[in-house]
A and B are shown apart, each in its own frame.
Chain A
């Protein structure tokens, strides 16, 4: 492309970035810091051990209140995920009770989980969950890592395009889980409300779910709040985008193919047009 052509391309991308930069979420909330994630960038991939630790945090803490209903136990063994063995997945699944039925007598019954089941939610329905939390609702976490973001402004959105930065969701989760504070002087919070620097509006109905030392890690990873938050955020990113590794791998192959194809096509075109004048 000519210099002008590429200037116009950059302008077009800038225009797109402009439209992406603009939506402003609710005021007050602090902007999350950028973390460094193993799965960012063109060759990004999940860190298996981290996903396994993240699952442990989810199961021992978050699961008491949040569902993960779109994820099946069998997914835990699939490539590009935590890659537990089939046996481990069977064990994990069997630790859950699943509602099944109706049976021959027309009754619902409970049985042990199987790898083909999905994670059961802690509450029977949204109303039951709201009743438990003064009307607040702990959202299902299956796609939460893609359902949260933060404003980046214009140069930021443009830079994200070129850097392929898509990890705003996990950044936010990490910030949210570590962002609990005493409310500012003069603010009294009613029972069941807590102050979080990163939550839109700051008043959140979830008490600080993670504390140092709360979940025991067997691989020597520090048992610290910051580490727990990081691990569970990475795990939730996998839960939201289980085929990320395959996507990036195929993307690279497609790009190589297209670059070679474009090169061949360019010279073909040049040759064809050579005798036109």
Chain B
């Protein structure tokens, strides 16, 4: 930890009373990062930027949005037509939610691949799962706000799930709705919560980063940092790399916003909500589809709801379900294969979530749901015993200089230097 040498007397005075500048200096300038981090490690920074973008565009939207069933749809159209650059703000916000999820799913699979959840990063990982849950709740409630057909019917289907709770189910649903159907009170509370939750996420993100800085980053080899030969300071090394990746990501994002802003949306949501007319297919946004597939795969309503929540909660226990001594899939030949099977399984569930729940789709969804849980509850614990890991390099510095075997997530930066 190098000392921060402040020349300006005012800053020195302030620093003596609240050492925030040296705190930032330690956290984002001199902070040591493993020298072999690849581009899969840039998504944390991307996620932070996406959260800030969502909060800023969201606050501007609220300045023009009206949360009542009579006016919500038209107020969104007012934003699109009459507010200066309103179309830009809204398309950034609605596509931003999708980009946020693309980034978070990559970030999570990165963690699963490199064993980033293992000792001592369990709490860091669990905070991440909490962020995922909060994001899903936030995005779901945000999608209700424009009060189109999918908003209304999506809200109806999802809130109805709670009626599966034995005994008190229906009472809980009435309580959630604030009435006997999804209506104005529902819209207003969803709006209040949609405004609140991103700030809760922000708080959990701070804890997440705190935990990260306390235990240090994992890296593609999964081995611990042993000496300062293994690390480089955050600034300028990680900072330039993160920024380069961020700009590429923003290009991908801008492509959606400016050229295909409605590609990820559903045309039905441009039809004002109509409680008397059910759409032919009610589908959630793409990022919730895998969970929707699991929900519908189980023949009983309660079972489906339990399976859906379990599919996220199981992630909390991954640090203990994985019995391997080695962190990174780079040195775990069998786990590496199962990892990719899991990725395909999740994409498959996403596809099935968008298909009607009938015939062969249901059977396929059941098989994939079964496999999803099999992966975490059976394969992961067994692999630790069955698999013979490859030799792990003695240190991060060594790994950068030699030994760059086949690696599906290539340590690109490490590789070319």
Interfacial residues, chain A to chain B (CB-CB below 8 A): 1-2, 4-5, 12, 15-16, 18-26, 42, 70, 75, 139, 142-143, 146-149, 160-161, 164, 166, 168-169, 200, 240, 242-243, 247-248, 250-252, 254-255, 258-259, 261-262, 265-266, 268-269, 272-274, 276-277
Bound-complex Cα distance A61 to B356 (A) = 38
Asked whether A4 lies within 8 Å of B410 as measured between CB atoms, the reply is yes
Bound-complex Cα distance A112 to B309 (A) = 59
Known contacts A254-B254, A273-B417; is-contact A23 B259 (Cβ 8 Å): no
Bound-complex Cα distance A225 to B254 (A) = 38
Asked whether B247 lies within 8 Å of A19 as measured between CB atoms, the reply is no
Known contacts A247-B88, A251-B259, A254-B258; is-contact A273 B413 (Cβ 8 Å): yes
Bound-complex Cα distance A261 to B258 (A) = 18
Closest to A140 in B: B272
Not counting A1-B248, A168-B267, A200-B280, a sample of 15 additional A-B residue pairs whose C-beta atoms are within 8 angstroms of each other reads: A5-B39, A19-B350, A19-B354, A23-B281, A24-B281, A24-B356, A146-B267, A148-B267, A164-B259, A247-B87, A252-B258, A254-B258, A255-B255, A276-B237, A277-B401
Give the contacts of B321-379 with A (CB-CB under 8 A). Answer: 347, 350-351, 353-356
Interface status of B257 (Cβ within 8 A of chain A): yes
Asked whether B258 lies within 8 Å of A277 as measured between CB atoms, the reply is no
Of all A-B residue pairs in the complex, the 7 with the closest CB atoms, nearest first, are A251-B258, A22-B354, A147-B270, A149-B267, A19-B286, A269-B240, A265-B244
- CB within 8 A of A259: which of B232, B251, B271, B356? B251
* A243 contact set on B, CB distance < 8 A: 80-81, 87
Asked whether B267 lies within 8 Å of A247 as measured between CB atoms, the reply is no
Known contacts A2-B412, A265-B247; is-contact A23 B351 (Cβ 8 Å): no
Closest to B246 in A: A265
Asked whether B281 lies within 8 Å of A20 as measured between CB atoms, the reply is no
Q: How far is the CB of B343 from chain A (nearest CB, A)?
A: 9
Asked whether A18 lies within 8 Å of B350 as measured between CB atoms, the reply is yes
Q: How far is the CB of A25 from chain B (nearest CB, A)?
A: 6
Asked whether B354 lies within 8 Å of A23 as measured between CB atoms, the reply is yes
- CB within 8 A of A147: which of B255, B264, B271, B281? B271
Asked whether A166 lies within 8 Å of B354 as measured between CB atoms, the reply is no
Can you list 14 pairs linking A and B with CB atoms under 8 Å apart? A2-B410, A5-B412, A18-B350, A148-B267, A160-B260, A160-B263, A166-B259, A166-B260, A250-B258, A255-B258, A265-B247, A272-B237, A273-B413, A276-B417
Asked whether B244 lies within 8 Å of A266 as measured between CB atoms, the reply is yes
Give the contacts of B402-417 with A (CB-CB under 8 A). Answer: 408-410, 412-413, 417
* A146 contact set on B, CB distance < 8 A: 262, 267, 270
Bound-complex Cα distance A4 to B263 (A) = 25
* A160 contact set on B, CB distance < 8 A: 260, 263
Closest to A169 in B: B267
Closest to A150 in B: B267
Interface status of B236 (Cβ within 8 A of chain A): yes
Closest to B401 in A: A277
* A148 contact set on B, CB distance < 8 A: 267
* B260 contact set on A, CB distance < 8 A: 160-161, 164, 166
* B244 contact set on A, CB distance < 8 A: 262, 265-266, 268-269
Asked whether B355 lies within 8 Å of A22 as measured between CB atoms, the reply is yes
* B81 contact set on A, CB distance < 8 A: 70, 75, 242-243
Asked whether B351 lies within 8 Å of A19 as measured between CB atoms, the reply is yes
Bound-complex Cα distance A18 to B267 (A) = 16
Bound-complex Cα distance A243 to B89 (A) = 13
Closest to B352 in A: A22
Bound-complex Cα distance A68 to B240 (A) = 50
The interface size bin for chain B is: 35 or more
* A252 contact set on B, CB distance < 8 A: 258
Asked whether A22 lies within 8 Å of B351 as measured between CB atoms, the reply is yes
Bound-complex Cα distance A5 to B43 (A) = 14
Asked whether B258 lies within 8 Å of A265 as measured between CB atoms, the reply is no
Interfacial residues, chain B to chain A (CB-CB below 8 A): 35, 39, 74, 77, 80-81, 87-88, 91, 102, 106, 232, 236-237, 240-241, 243-244, 247-248, 250-251, 254-255, 257-264, 266-268, 270-271, 280-281, 283, 286, 289, 347, 350-351, 353-356, 400-401, 408-410, 412-413, 417
Bound-complex Cα distance A19 to B410 (A) = 28
Counting chain A CB atoms within 10 Å of each CB, the highest count among B255, B408, B412 belongs to: B255
* B74 contact set on A, CB distance < 8 A: 70
Closest to A262 in B: B247
Known contacts A12-B102, A262-B251; is-contact A42 B259 (Cβ 8 Å): yes
Asked whether A147 lies within 8 Å of B350 as measured between CB atoms, the reply is no
Closest to B277 in A: A137
Q: How far is the CB of B89 from chain A (nearest CB, A)?
A: 12
Q: How far is the CB of A61 from chain B (nearest CB, A)?
A: 22
Known contacts A19-B351, A148-B267, A272-B237; is-contact A247 B258 (Cβ 8 Å): yes
* B271 contact set on A, CB distance < 8 A: 139, 147
Q: How far is the CB of B122 from chain A (nearest CB, A)?
A: 27
Asked whether A276 lies within 8 Å of B232 as measured between CB atoms, the reply is yes
* A250 contact set on B, CB distance < 8 A: 88, 258
Bound-complex Cα distance A2 to B268 (A) = 39
Asked whether A272 lies within 8 Å of B354 as measured between CB atoms, the reply is no
Asked whether B251 lies within 8 Å of A20 as measured between CB atoms, the reply is no
Bound-complex Cα distance A149 to B262 (A) = 11
Bound-complex Cα distance A90 to B258 (A) = 32
- CB within 8 A of B350: which of A4, A15, A247, A262? A15
Closest to A25 in B: B280
* A1 contact set on B, CB distance < 8 A: 39, 248, 412
Closest to A253 in B: B258
Asked whether A23 lies within 8 Å of B401 as measured between CB atoms, the reply is no
* B243 contact set on A, CB distance < 8 A: 265, 269
Asked whether A272 lies within 8 Å of B268 as measured between CB atoms, the reply is no
Q: How far is the CB of A116 from chain B (nearest CB, A)?
A: 11
* A12 contact set on B, CB distance < 8 A: 102, 106
Q: How far is the CB of B114 from chain A (nearest CB, A)?
A: 15
Bound-complex Cα distance A143 to B74 (A) = 11
* A168 contact set on B, CB distance < 8 A: 267
* B250 contact set on A, CB distance < 8 A: 258
Q: How far is the CB of B162 from chain A (nearest CB, A)?
A: 25
Known contacts A19-B350, A251-B254, A273-B237; is-contact A261 B259 (Cβ 8 Å): no
